[in-house]
């Protein structure tokens, strides 16, 4: 039953510890949870064995110590027991040697009886024996130290006592018995009295009281008893065990006991003790049985044994304590193992993490070196491409410039060609004055062409020319005149809304270039129109002059508008357009500090608007966003 009281708190403590460890977050991964559980499982399975081992070792240790102590006490009590008897051993002999005693047995007389009675009383008082008395050869007590007491032995015959018969037979005798006269137990020692002539006269007896020994044992709180040859307890620290037999008595034994009246007046009962191995189960005062380890030693009296009982209960308690200590140590060790394991696991994890980090770092460094090398390679490559690009750009710019020049010179050259043809005809007719006018125009165009060729700055985007002045209205008239031949060929209806004079901050050549490009494009756009129309409108607007050229041609889509002013953007057939006219116009207008924009007219056709600052009042504000 006690095991339940041990097992339950241990299990509770164990499980509590387990939960605490779990809560302490010693477990991080599923794997470590399983490992931990395995350790706990093994620990749990080994725990009962450890507890049993601890308990067993504790029990044996306590038992060894208790038995050692029991043996020491046993020896002490045995020697005190022997001493208590031995100190009287001489006394029967001494009494038997006394001349008066011999004489009394030989020739009894009243005076001698009195004298010997007194002698025996003195002897008893001096020796502190219980009683001293003398029997004749028939076993009749003639004299006794208790001759004066009512329970005197005098006159009683103790022939049935073995100490008498033994003494008569062998010269000496001893016997433990309960007094038939007094009812008091005692140890009887006898000596045969022999006359000078050697005849058996009787027996001198000394009764020793051994009861005080029990008081000593009781006082020490120890369980001690003496058993005789019949395994009957004669003396005991526990009164309830006294005169009870350990082993069942045979009929022969019972017959002997009846004959020698050893336990006269006492009912002998079995003790009810049971023994298993070296453990003796004895009845206790509470009616229960208590278990003892039985240690015994043989006494000098034949068949007598002195027993010392060691209670088993404290041994079990010590075993339990040992098991508890083992349990605590076990749990501590298990926790220490887990803690150390966890610590090493974390240390390992830290080392691994560091290794991983180092490896990562190395990889990164390698990558950086690799990328740097690659970057360097690419930079070199890029620089090479850049150099090539610059070269290409230079060539492209050169190409644009060449194409631009060719584009811009195309119209005046055509005009020159037309004028030259007209001039030739006029000279042939003899209309020299008119021919001269034509030649003037050719000269003007030639000088314009030389202006255009000198306009390389269009491509280098120089700052706008300052202090320039041009009459925009006059330039419109000039360009229309230059394109007159084509206008008439196409049958285009030109609607003009232009003031007489519109001074802008620009030079004639650039304005003419812009006008030639815009009007030529408009004429191109209306080439397939049944009723081709062109409206030119010049009005004052926002500190400058705004020119609007509207046509009723094809117009352009929103997508086209985005690319109109880009170089080489053209929707015209190959050979008809280079896509440079609007690009050049844009550059020229920018140079002059003006703005240009295009839109598709809702009624169809295109609208180009050019704004240039007026010379009357300077302003940086632009009429339109380019």
> What's the min distance (Å) between Cβ of 566 and ligand ADP?
9
> What's the min distance (Å) between Cβ of 569 and ligand ADP?
6
Nearer to ligand ADP, 562 or 572 (CB): 572
CB 70 within 8 A of CB 295: yes
Rounded to whole angstroms, how far apart are CA atoms 17 and 23?
Answer: 10
Tell me which residues touch ligand ADP (CB under 6 A). 517, 521-522, 525, 551, 553-556, 564, 569-572, 577-583, 606
Nearest to 80 by CA among 245, 280, 235, 185: 235
Rounded to whole angstroms, how far apart are CA atoms 599 and 549?
Answer: 11
- The residue count of the chain comes to 626
> What's the min distance (Å) between Cβ of 390 and ligand ADP?
26
Angle at 74 between CA 72 and CA 80, to 5 degrees: 105
3-state secondary structure 50-93: HHHHHHHHHHHHHHHHHHHHHHHHHHHHHHHHHHHHHCCCHHHH
Nearer to ligand ADP, 162 or 532 (CB): 532
The conformation of residue 469, written as its DSSP 8-state character, comes to -
Beta pairing, strands 223-227 & 200-208: unpaired
> What's the min distance (Å) between Cβ of 438 and ligand ADP?
28
The conformation of residue 239, written as its DSSP 8-state character, comes to G
> What's the min distance (Å) between Cβ of 575 and ligand ADP?
10
Rounded to whole angstroms, how far apart are CA atoms 339 and 359?
Answer: 29
Rounded to whole angstroms, how far apart are CA atoms 471 and 456?
Answer: 23
Nearer to ligand ADP, 594 or 605 (CB): 605
Nearer to ligand ADP, 190 or 554 (CB): 554
> What's the min distance (Å) between Cβ of 407 and ligand ADP?
7
Nearer to ligand ADP, 375 or 396 (CB): 396
> What's the min distance (Å) between Cβ of 413 and ligand ADP?
16
Rounded to whole angstroms, how far apart are CA atoms 491 and 478?
Answer: 19
Nearer to ligand ADP, 478 or 556 (CB): 556
Compute, in degrees rounded to 10, the torsion defined by CA atoms 128, 131, 134, 137: -130
Nearer to ligand ADP, 111 or 603 (CB): 603
Nearer to ligand ADP, 459 or 569 (CB): 569
Rounded to whole angstroms, how far apart are CA atoms 597 and 518?
Answer: 11
Compute, in degrees rounded to 10, the torsion defined by CA atoms 147, 153, 159, 164: -70
> What's the min distance (Å) between Cβ of 442 and ligand ADP?
25
Phi (first) and psi of residue 141, to 5 degrees: -80, 120
3-state secondary structure 86-103: HCCCHHHHHHHHCHHHHH
> What's the min distance (Å) between Cβ of 365 and ligand ADP?
56
Q: Residue 199 has which token pair?
A: 């005849």
Nearer to ligand ADP, 180 or 571 (CB): 571
Nearer to ligand ADP, 569 or 624 (CB): 569
Rounded to whole angstroms, how far apart are CA atoms 552 and 530?
Answer: 10
Rounded to whole angstroms, how far apart are CA atoms 356 and 336?
Answer: 29
> What's the min distance (Å) between Cβ of 379 and ligand ADP?
38
């Amino acid at each position: 039953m006690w095991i339940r009281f041990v097992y339950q708190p241990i299990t509770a403590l164990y499980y509590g510890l387990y939960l605490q460890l779990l809560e302490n977050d010693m477990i991080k991964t599923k794997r470590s949870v399983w490992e931990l559980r395995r350790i706990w499982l093994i620990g749990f399975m080994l725990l009962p064995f450890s507890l049993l081992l601890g308990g067993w070792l504790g029990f044996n240790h306590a038992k060894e110590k208790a038995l050692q102590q029991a043996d020491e006490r046993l020896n002490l009590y045995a020697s005190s027991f022997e001493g208590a008897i031995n100190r009287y051993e001489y006394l029967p002999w001494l009494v038997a040697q006394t001349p008066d005693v011999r004489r009394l047995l030989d020739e009894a007389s009243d005076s001698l009886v009195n004298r010997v009675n007194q002698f025996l009383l003195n002897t008893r008082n001096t020796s502190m024996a219980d009683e001293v008395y003398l029997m004749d050869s028939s076993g009749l007590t003639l004299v006794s130290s208790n001759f004066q007491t009512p329970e005197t032995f005098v006159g009683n015959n103790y022939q049935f006592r073995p100490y008498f018969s033994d003494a008569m037979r062998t010269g000496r005798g001893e016997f433990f018995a309960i007094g038939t006269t007094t009812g008091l137990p005692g140890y009887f020692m006898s000596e045969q009295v022999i006359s000078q002539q050697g005849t058996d006269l009787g027996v001198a007896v000394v009764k020793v009281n051994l009861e005080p020994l029990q008081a000593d044992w009781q006082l020490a709180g120890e369980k001690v008893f003496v058993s005789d040859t019949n395994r009957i307890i004669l003396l005991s620290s526990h009164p309830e065990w006294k005169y009870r037999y350990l082993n069942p008595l045979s009929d022969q034994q019972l017959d002997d006991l009846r004959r020698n009246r050893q336990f006269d007046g006492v009912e002998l009962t079995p003790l009810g003790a049971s023994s298993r191995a070296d453990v003796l189960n004895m009845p206790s005062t509470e009616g229960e049985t208590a278990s003892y380890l039985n240690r015994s030693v043989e006494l000098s009296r034949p068949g007598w044994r002195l027993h010392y009982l060691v209670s088993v209960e404290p041994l079990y308690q010590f075993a339990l304590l040992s098991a508890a200590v083992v349990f605590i140590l076990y749990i501590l060790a298990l926790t220490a193992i887990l803690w150390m394991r966890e610590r090493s696991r974390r240390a390992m994890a830290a080392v691994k993490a560091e290794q991983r980090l180092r490896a990562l770092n190395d990889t990164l460094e390698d990558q950086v070196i690799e990328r740097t090398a690659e970057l360097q390679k690419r930079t070199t490559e890029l620089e090479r491409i850049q150099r090539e690009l610059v070269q290409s750009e230079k060539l492209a710019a050169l190409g644009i410039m060449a194409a631009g020049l060719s584009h811009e010179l195309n119209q005046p050259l055509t005009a020159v060609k037309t004028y030259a043809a007209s001039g030739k005809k006029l000279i042939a007719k003899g209309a020299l004055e008119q021919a001269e006018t034509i030649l003037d125009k050719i000269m003007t165009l030639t000088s314009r062409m030389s202006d255009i060729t000198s306009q390389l700055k269009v491509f280098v985007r120089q700052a706008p020319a300052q202090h320039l002045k041009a009459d925009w209205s006059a330039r419109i008239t000039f360009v229309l005149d230059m394109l007159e031949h084509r206008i008439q060929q196409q049958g285009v209806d030109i609607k003009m809304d232009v003031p007489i004079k519109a001074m802008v901050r620009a030079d004639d050549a650039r304005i003419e270039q812009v006008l030639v490009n815009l009007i030529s494009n408009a004429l191109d756009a209306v080439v397939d129109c049944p009723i081709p129309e062109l409206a030119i409108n010049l009005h004052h607007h926002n500190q400058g002059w705004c020119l609007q050229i509207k046509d009723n041609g094809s117009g352009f889509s929103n997508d086209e508008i985005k690319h109109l002013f880009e170089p080489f953007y053209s929707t015209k057939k190959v050979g008809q357009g280079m896509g440079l006219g609007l690009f050049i116009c844009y550059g020229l207008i920018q140079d002059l500090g003006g703005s240009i924009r295009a839109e598709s007219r809702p009624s169809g056709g295109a609208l180009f608007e050019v704004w240039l600052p007026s010379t009357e009042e300077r302003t940086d504000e632009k009429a339109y966003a380019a």
